[in-house]
Amino acid sequence: MAVLVYAESDNGNYKKSSFEAISYGRDLADQLSTTCIAISIGNKGSENLGQYGAHQEVNINGDLYQSFNPNVHAKAISEIANQCDCQIIVFSQTYSGKSIAPILAVKQDSAIVTGVIGLADTSGGFKVKTTAFSNKAVAHVQVNQTKKTLTIIPNSYQINSYDQTAEVLQLEVNVSENDANTKIVKTQKETGKVALTEAELVISAGRGLKGAENWNLVEDLADALGAATACSKPVSDMEWRPHSEHVGQTGITIKPNLYIAAGISGAIQHLAGVSSSKVICVINTDPEAPFFKAADYGIVGDAFDILPRLTKRINELKS
């Protein structure tokens, strides 16, 4: 029995969340006195994954894997899991992880636990800590099935460092276009931007910004800080910003070191996706805005005045 971890790459670079997932998989493997195997698909990062804890690594590559297709990825991972007798499969809960893991769990007839935030307790069973009720509670989930699929919330597990090189396995899988179910006809990649789920700093804005034409204030501050941009749900619903920036209960869950929210009221559904941020700074004209209760720093003021002043000051400090 081994632990298999999906190591996701973007544009030929491993995502930071992959290193967290491998560290998690290795700690779990150590607890169970077994091996941690990392699997990457398509163009992968250049690092040897041994330095994050993988004992072995395998890459599945070819034309079929140039575009992301969850069915294809799930089939390849499932075949490797069978070949290497992996009963526990770990993903980071990214867009890709979220779409592959349930398909894989069906293929493997495995239990699936999502929203994992802590290492499993394997003393007398298998118990995992997860978020529940939109981050309002923590659940301890007892998993009784032999096969288990886990998705770990990005930024909730530390990255370990090992002085070792993972053995590279050469394995083949039998996956074809027929396994795809859907065909990707076009992909459009955003370039030059910090990925929201990977970002340590996030600048976010809501309906208080009045319109799409004012987002230069948010982008200027994000550029000055090297931060990613995010938004509240109504903002993406009104198409002021793309849906990929929508954070909250029905959007992405993020956990950056710093979350600056301008013109966002702090509704419970918004907080569900951002309340685990290490430091929260809120800018709002209304001193009674609920977001201030969740904030570490609050500025009662007009975002149209505060955001450019912050940008100017940061640029001054940088120069």
Ligand X SMILES: Cc1cc2nc3c(=O)[nH]c(=O)nc-3n(C[C@H](O)[C@H](O)[C@H](O)COP(=O)(O)OP(=O)(O)OC[C@H]3O[C@@H](n4cnc5c(N)ncnc54)[C@H](O)[C@@H]3O)c2cc1C
Residue of 263, 275, 310, 311 interacting with ligand X (CB under 6 A): 263
Q: To the nearest whole angstrom, how small is the minimum distance from the Cβ of residue 309 to ligand X? A: 13
* Structure tokens given for 11: 């544009």
Q: How far is the CB of 62 from ligand X (least distance, A)?
A: 37
Cβ proximity to ligand X: between 169 and 300 the closer is 300
- 55, 75, 148, 233: which one contacts ligand X (CB under 6 A)? 233
Q: Is 197 in the site for ligand X (CB under 6 A)?
A: no
Tokens standing for 79? 């075949």
Any contact of residue 118 with ligand X (CB under 6 A)?
no
Q: Tell me 129's DSSP state.
A: E
Comparing CB distances to ligand X, the nearer of 98 and 107 is: 98
Question: Judged by CB under 6 A, which stretch of 95-103, 111-119, 135-143, 245-253 contacts ligand X?
Answer: 245-253
Q: What does the per-residue mask of binding to ligand X show for 76-95, with x meaning CB under 6 A?
A: --------------------
Between the CA of residue 126 and those of 112, 140, 202, 234, what are the distances in Å? 12, 10, 35, 40
**Interacting residue with ligand X among 9, 35, 232, 276 (CB under 6 A):** 232
In the bound state with ligand X, the residue whose beta carbon lies nearer, of 199 and 230, is: 230
Number of residues this chain uses to bind ligand X (CB under 6 A): 27
Would the CA dihedral through 51, 225, 216, 291 be positive or negative?
positive
* CA distance linking residue 172 with residue 19, whole number of Å: 24
Using DSSP's 3-state secondary structure scheme, residue 156 falls into coil
Q: Which residues in the 285-304 window bind ligand X by CB under 6 A?
A: 285-286, 289, 302-304
- Whole-angstrom Cα distance, residue 105 to residue 273? 25
Q: Is 236 helix (H, G, I), strand (E, B) or coil?
A: helix
- Find, among 61, 49, 59, 48, the residue nearest to 22 by Cα: 49
CB of 210 to ligand X, least distance (A): 7
Number of Cβ within a 10 Å radius of residue 177: 11
Stretch that binds ligand X, among 5-13, 150-158, 190-198, 269-277 (CB under 6 A): 269-277
Find out whether 128 and 113 touch, Cβ atoms under 8 Å: yes
| Exposed e or buried b per residue across 71-97, where buried means at least 16 C-beta atoms within 10 angstroms of its C-beta | bbbbbbbbbbbeebebbbbbbbbbebb
Contact footprint for ligand X (CB under 6 A) = 206-208, 232-235, 248-251, 262-265, 267, 269-270, 273, 283-286, 289, 302-304
